């Protein structure tokens, strides 16, 4: 508690700091291009460009905030009834030094220029269009006043570039159908034009926005002179056809492992502009085969691993439908929680049938998505909404018993419905919103009664900003309700996210007769987000023990009342040898609903970038009162020893052809109860502008003397068994990109991964929360525990009369995942993919020792499962 109050005292002087910087908005008045045509060729020789004037006088923002740029930039804007056009002149006194790096779309490599358009002029959302000197385009949907940039948005537009002895040029043509704006005769849009000079890592802007300014979009300049243009309705339909060949080890007698399987599939994606404000997206039988594999991870905790969404249908426009359970700049174990987590849709089946000797199982890898739609829109009054519904098929596994086939349902037909709406007030300075989710399963098989039949969640959130959005207060209130058979609700209460059966939690208990469960959650925070080099935030969040959103949302665990704060500082100008300095301090105080302090921590870090563009980062944490309600898997809360952490990272100048970084993290636990060591290295090499190679090896050593093993009952009660674990983990992430043209690329991704865990020094939990560390457990003597190498079991006969067995928990894991993808956008919006994916897992025999030779031998001797795919998509548009 002394640490907590000391932290608040440290925060108080920063909370009193206040300064404001408000820049005058600049105006650019455009004019229609008239009857003259514009050819998009990167040369501004069309007569239409003579109708408008050049705008210039850009201001540097990085590295020297507010200084004149080292090179001049100018632009023009014109339009007609279908398109808006930009001509951008990037002057350069050393044109031979212009960096022309190739990348795939949204790569943002080398010198580039960028246009941001707030076409709704709602001062909150905008569209970003970027083109590099190499002709690579990038586009992003900007939301939350610039706090979120979504690269998944892929509109159709055109750009060409040229280089001459005065610099380089970019000519851009954007269809009005790709923008959203109101139906008025005279329009004013927000506008920002950016230039990056790569060799100096310099950014300059037409509308100067200081680095300490709160927000981004609401500070844009204004584009006027837009007369008589009308919102364009959008119609796009993109059918696809897919040919696939799956190859794997052949297993004699197994009809499902014949070594090779062929299939042909088809589906369609579409986008329809119902009105100028409302867009309808749909997909039928979507395919995600070209999506990169998830990285390998080994999880020894009770908490679920959060996986990033990578599938195009779900990531496009996801900001409209996202409802963060807690928005916290301080992070925290709760910060990933969200009412909407689309990785639930089309996941692996929930049920895995048991088979007997002589039976063979064909278990689907994922649940097919029959179809889905999204309806999104925003009107001129600032009302925005999004609705998405997905239908997944009833999925069955097939079981072969001596040639007789039978089916067993592993996932019921399910409907996932999510909705989100927000209303801007006072030009976006205040926002209120609501969200709703519904998961409905058609369960007709008794063995699936452990699943919820219906699950609902919803929430109301708000944001209020004042003093030019420098200060804010934000929060939400949420509710969840799940229904099902008594088996399903009992299973939820006893699950790893709730553990109602904990013997020391007198505020919850398992109700085996319940058929529903209702809980609440929410957060509230206050902070300063700009107008000063010092920013801060303080807030709290809660999840009642009954709160449950994991049918279509994500939540690590319920039963928490957490307070947190963060204060940060950034330099606005270079200081001595430093180009930038950023520092942050975070504080956490966690409780459960029983009033117990479950965590008290202070975390900090500082990041220095030197004038030579090298970077050094370091930080650490002090962690106290680590009371873990989940460690014993439904047993009493266990008091883990205090822990400290330090980490550092060094990175070289990433503008160079060869760059690298390396660092490590070290955690050490009180009473010599364990230590963790993580080390990483990254190398990035670009021999020519069209090729990029990266290799990122990592290594981890984990020694924990209090690793949970099992819970065993001996007639006198539960025995919670812990042990010491020595775990070694290593792997390497490899990426290679060959960009032949901006629309033609070959990408390779591979990750071999290996982990070995050895358990010993077994112990039984005694007084889980004892103040004396040694009173928390009883260490088994050699007379109390023995090991049978034949059955691979431990037998315990201890002084309390316990007599039970448990299996050897040691593990050896090896995996290899890779993707080779050729992507050709043969017409804008129309793509061809050729994909080879390979997965290997399973040891031929356990590691004798954790060495490089053994890891390599096991990786390449493990059986391979290969997938070859050809996919073509054609986009019809109007």
Count of helix runs (H) and strand runs (E) in the chain = 5, 48
Residue 667: predicted pLDDT: 96
d(Cα 424, Cα 420) in Å, to the nearest integer?
Answer: 14
The CA R_g of the chain, rounded to the nearest whole Å, is 29
User: Do 545 and 520 meet the contact criterion of CB atoms below 8 Å apart?
Assistant: no
Q: What is the pLDDT of residues 150-193, one digit of tens each?
A: 887 888 899 999 999 999 999 999 999 888 888 888 999 999 99
Give kind and range of the element (H or E) at residue 321.
helix 318-321
Cα dihedral sign for 353, 354, 359, 362? positive
**Angle formed at CA 379 by CA 222 and CA 277, multiple of 5 degrees:** 100
Query: Is pLDDT above 90 for 601?
Result: yes
Token readout for 399 is 């079981």
Q: What is the pLDDT of residues 419-476, one digit of tens each?
A: 999 999 988 899 999 999 999 999 999 999 999 999 999 999 999 999 999 999 999 9
Average pLDDT over residues 547-551: 96
User: Do 423 and 382 meet the contact criterion of CB atoms below 8 Å apart?
Assistant: yes
Which of 634, 474, 451, 460 shows the shortest CA–CA distance to 552?
A: 451
Residue 187: predicted pLDDT: 94
pLDDT confidence bin for 16, thresholds 50/70/90? very low
Q: What is the pLDDT of residues 257-277, one digit of tens each?
A: 888 999 998 989 888 888 777
- For 99, 281, 613, the CA distances from 110, given in Å and listed in that order, are 5, 34, 15
**Pairing assessment for the beta strands 137-143 and 126-132 based on DSSP bridges:** antiparallel
Please list, residue by residue across 238-254, b when 16 or more beta carbons sit within 10 angstroms of its beta carbon and e when fewer do: bebebebeebbeeeeee
d(Cα 427, Cα 235) in Å, to the nearest integer?
Answer: 30
pLDDT confidence bin for 17, thresholds 50/70/90? very low
Which of 189, 208, 294, 280 shows the shortest CA–CA distance to 237?
A: 280
Please list, residue by residue across 823-857, b when 16 or more beta carbons sit within 10 angstroms of its beta carbon and e when fewer do: bbbeeebbbebbbebbbbbebeeebeebeeebbeb
pLDDT confidence bin for 801, thresholds 50/70/90? low
d(Cα 111, Cα 739) in Å, to the nearest integer?
Answer: 17
Query: Is pLDDT above 80 for 306?
Result: no
Give kind and range of the element (H or E) at residue 202.
strand 202-205
Which of 389, 397, 341, 339 shows the shortest CA–CA distance to 369?
A: 389
Which of 70, 38, 69 shows the shortest CA–CA distance to 52?
A: 38
674: left (phi over 0), alpha (psi -120 to 50) or beta: left
- Among the residue ranges 74-88, 563-577, 815-829, the one predicted with the least confidence is 815-829
Give kind and range of the element (H or E) at residue 314.
helix 312-315
User: Do 666 and 674 meet the contact criterion of CB atoms below 8 Å apart?
Assistant: no
Domain with CATH 2.60.40.1190 in the chain: 20-227
Cα dihedral sign for 545, 548, 550, 554? negative
Q: What is the pLDDT of residues 76-94, one digit of tens each?
A: 999 999 999 999 999 999 9
What SS3 state is found at 294? coil
Q: H/E/C letters for each residue in 118-154? A: ECCCCCCCEEEEEEECCCCEEEEEEEHHHCEEECCCC
User: Which one has a higher pLDDT value, 148 or 456?
Assistant: 456
User: Do 268 and 240 meet the contact criterion of CB atoms below 8 Å apart?
Assistant: yes
29 Cβ contact list (under 8 Å, min separation 6): 224, 225
* DSSP classification of residue 381: T
Residue 292: predicted pLDDT: 57
Cα dihedral sign for 325, 329, 334, 336? positive
d(Cα 737, Cα 756) in Å, to the nearest integer?
Answer: 32
Residue 21: predicted pLDDT: 45
Give kind and range of the element (H or E) at residue 722.
strand 718-741
d(Cα 498, Cα 506) in Å, to the nearest integer?
Answer: 14
What is the number of residues in the chain? 878
d(Cα 604, Cα 587) in Å, to the nearest integer?
Answer: 9
Cα dihedral sign for 280, 286, 290, 292? positive
- Among the residue ranges 496-500, 535-539, 843-847, the one predicted with the least confidence is 843-847
d(Cα 220, Cα 190) in Å, to the nearest integer?
Answer: 5
Q: What is the pLDDT of residues 777-788, one digit of tens each?
A: 999 999 899 999
E-strand stretches of 357-492: 359-362, 369-378, 383-392, 395-401, 404-411, 413-425, 430-442, 454-466, 471-483
Average pLDDT over residues 553-577: 95
d(Cα 721, Cα 808) in Å, to the nearest integer?
Answer: 12
% of the chain at pLDDT higher than 90: 73
Q: What is the pLDDT of residues 374-431, one digit of tens each?
A: 998 888 788 889 999 999 999 999 999 988 999 999 999 999 999 999 999 988 899 9
**Angle formed at CA 521 by CA 519 and CA 525, multiple of 5 degrees:** 170
Query: Is pLDDT above 60 for 210?
Result: yes
CA quadruple 761, 765, 767, 773: dihedral, nearest 10: 20
Task: Please tell us whether the domain made up of 20-227 is placed in CATH 2.60.40.1190.
Answer: yes
What SS3 state is found at 199? helix
The number of angstroms, rounded, from the C-alpha of 672 to the middle of its chain's C-alpha atoms is: 35
Token readout for 218 is 């609401």
d(Cα 794, Cα 186) in Å, to the nearest integer?
Answer: 80
Across the chain, which distance is largest between two alpha carbons, in Å? 97
* DSSP classification of residue 493: H
231 Cβ contact list (under 8 Å, min separation 6): 176, 180, 181, 182, 183, 275, 276, 277
d(Cα 615, Cα 650) in Å, to the nearest integer?
Answer: 6
Counting beta carbons within 10 angstroms of the beta carbon of residue 794, is it exposed (0 to 12), middle (13 to 18) or buried (19 or more)? buried
Residue 273: predicted pLDDT: 84
User: Do 334 and 303 meet the contact criterion of CB atoms below 8 Å apart?
Assistant: no
d(Cα 558, Cα 545) in Å, to the nearest integer?
Answer: 5
Give kind and range of the element (H or E) at residue 15.
helix 2-16
d(Cα 77, Cα 191) in Å, to the nearest integer?
Answer: 11
Residue 294: predicted pLDDT: 64
pLDDT confidence bin for 792, thresholds 50/70/90? very high
Average pLDDT over residues 870-877: 89
Token readout for 693 is 């190679």
Q: What is the pLDDT of residues 92-125, one digit of tens each?
A: 999 999 999 998 888 889 999 999 999 989 898 8
pTM of the full predicted structure?
Answer: 0.87
User: Do 86 and 74 meet the contact criterion of CB atoms below 8 Å apart?
Assistant: no
pLDDT confidence bin for 312, thresholds 50/70/90? confident
* DSSP classification of residue 338: B
d(Cα 127, Cα 115) in Å, to the nearest integer?
Answer: 8
- For 78, 408, 450, 485, 492, the CA distances from 489, given in Å and listed in that order, are 61, 23, 8, 7, 5
Alpha helical stretches, state H, 721-769:
none
Residue 87: predicted pLDDT: 97
Average pLDDT, the chain: 91
């Amino acid at each position: 508690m002394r640490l907590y109050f000391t932290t608040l005292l440290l925060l108080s002087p920063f909370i009193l700091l206040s300064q404001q910087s408000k820049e005058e908005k600049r105006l650019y008045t455009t004019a229609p291009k008239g009857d003259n045509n514009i050819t998009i060729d990167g040369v501004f020789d069309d007569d239409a460009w003579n109708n408008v004037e050049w705008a210039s006088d850009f201001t540097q923002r990085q590295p020297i905030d507010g200084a004149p740029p080292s090179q001049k930039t100018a632009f023009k804007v014109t339009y007609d009834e279908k398109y808006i056009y930009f001509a951008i002149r990037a002057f350069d006194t050393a044109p031979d030094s212009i960096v022309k790096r190739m990348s795939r779309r949204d790569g943002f490599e080398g010198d580039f220029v960028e246009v941001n358009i707030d076409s709704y002029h709602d001062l909150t959302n905008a569209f970003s269009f970027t083109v590099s000197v190499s002709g690579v385009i990038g586009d992003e949907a900007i939301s939350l006043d610039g706090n979120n940039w979504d690269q998944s948005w892929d509109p159709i537009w055109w750009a060409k570039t040229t280089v001459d002895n005065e610099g380089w040029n970019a000519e851009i043509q954007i269809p009005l159908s790709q923008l959203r704006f109101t139906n008025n005769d005279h329009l004013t849009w927000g506008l920002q034009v950016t230039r990056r000079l790569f060799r100096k890592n310099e950014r300059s802007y037409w509308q100067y926005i200081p680095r300490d300014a709160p927000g981004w979009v609401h500070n844009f300049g204004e584009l006027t002179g837009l007369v008589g243009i009308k919102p364009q309705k959008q119609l796009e339909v993109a059918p696809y056809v897919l040919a696939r060949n799956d190859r794997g080890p052949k297993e004699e007698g197994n009809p499902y492992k014949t070594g090779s399987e062929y299939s042909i599939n088809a589906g369609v994606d579409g986008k329809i502009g119902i009105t100028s404000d409302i867009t309808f997206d749909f997909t039928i039988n979507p395919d995600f085969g070209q999506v990169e594999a998830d990285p390998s991870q080994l999880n020894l905790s009770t908490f679920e691993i959060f996986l990033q969404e990578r599938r195009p249908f779900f990531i496009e426009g996801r900001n409209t439908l996202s409802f963060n359970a807690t928005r916290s700049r301080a992070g925290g174990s709760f910060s990933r929680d969200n009412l909407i987590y689309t990785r639930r849709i089309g996941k692996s089946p929930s049920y895995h049938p048991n088979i007997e000797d002589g039976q063979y199982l064909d278990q689907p890898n994922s649940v097919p998505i029959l179809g889905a739609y999204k309806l999104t829109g925003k009107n001129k009054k600032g009302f925005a909404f999004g609705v998405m519904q997905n239908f997944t098929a009833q999925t069955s596994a097939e079981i072969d018993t001596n040639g007789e086939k039978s089916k067993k349902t592993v996932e019921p037909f399910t409907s996932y419905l999510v909705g989100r709406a927000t209303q801007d007030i006072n030009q976006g300075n205040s926002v209120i919103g609501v969200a709703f989710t519904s998961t409905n399963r058609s369960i007709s098989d008794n063995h699936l009664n452990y699943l919820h039949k219906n699950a609902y969640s919803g929430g109301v959130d708000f944001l209020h900003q004042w003093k030019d959005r420098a200060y804010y207060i934000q929060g939400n209130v949420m509710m969840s309700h799940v229904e099902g058979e008594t088996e399903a609700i009992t299973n939820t209460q006893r699950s790893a996210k709730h553990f109602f059966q904990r013997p020391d939690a007198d505020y919850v208990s398992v109700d085996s007769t319940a058929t529903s469960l209702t809980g609440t959650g929410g957060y509230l925070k206050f902070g300063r987000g700009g107008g000063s080099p010092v920013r801060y935030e303080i807030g709290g969040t809660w999840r009642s023990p009954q709160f449950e959103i994991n049918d279509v949302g994500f939540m690590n665990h319920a039963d928490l009342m957490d307070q947190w704060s963060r204060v940060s500082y950034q330099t606005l100008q270079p200081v001595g040898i430093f180009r930038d300095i950023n520092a942050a301090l975070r504080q956490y105080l966690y409780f459960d609903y029983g009033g117990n302090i479950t965590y008290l921590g202070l975390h900090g870090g500082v990041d220095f970038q030197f004038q030579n563009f090298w970077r050094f980062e370091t930080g650490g944490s002090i962690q106290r009162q680590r009371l873990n309600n989940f460690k014993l898997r439904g047993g009493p809360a266990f008091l883990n020893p205090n822990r400290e952490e330090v980490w550092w990272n060094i990175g070289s100048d990433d503008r160079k052809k060869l760059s690298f970084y390396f660092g490590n993290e070290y955690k050490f636990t009180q009473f010599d109860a364990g230590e963790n060591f993580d080390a990483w290295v990254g190398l990035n090499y670009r021999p020519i502008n069209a090729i990029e190679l990266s290799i990122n090896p990592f290594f981890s050593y984990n020694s924990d003397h209090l690793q949970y093993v099992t819970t065993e009952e001996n007639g006198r009660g539960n025995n919670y068994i812990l042990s010491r674990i020595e775990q070694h983990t290593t792997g390497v992430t490899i990426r290679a990109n060959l960009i032949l043209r901006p629309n033609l690329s070959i990408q390779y991704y591979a990750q071999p991964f290996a982990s070995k865990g050895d358990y010993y020094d077994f112990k039984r939990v005694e007084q889980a929360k004892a103040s004396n560390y040694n009173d928390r457990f009883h260490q088994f003597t050699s007379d109390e525990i023995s090991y049978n190498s034949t059955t691979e079991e431990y037998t315990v006969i201890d002084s309390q009369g316990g007599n039970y067995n448990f299996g050897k928990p040691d593990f050896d894991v090896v995996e290899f995942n890779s993707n080779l993808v050729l992507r050709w956008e043969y017409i804008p919006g129309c793509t061809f993919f050729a994909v080879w994916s390979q997965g290997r897992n399973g040891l031929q025999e356990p590691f004798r020792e954790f060495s490089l030779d053994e890891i390599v031998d096991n990786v390449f001797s493990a059986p391979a499962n290969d997938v070859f795919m050809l996919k073509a998509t054609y986009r019809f548009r109007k």
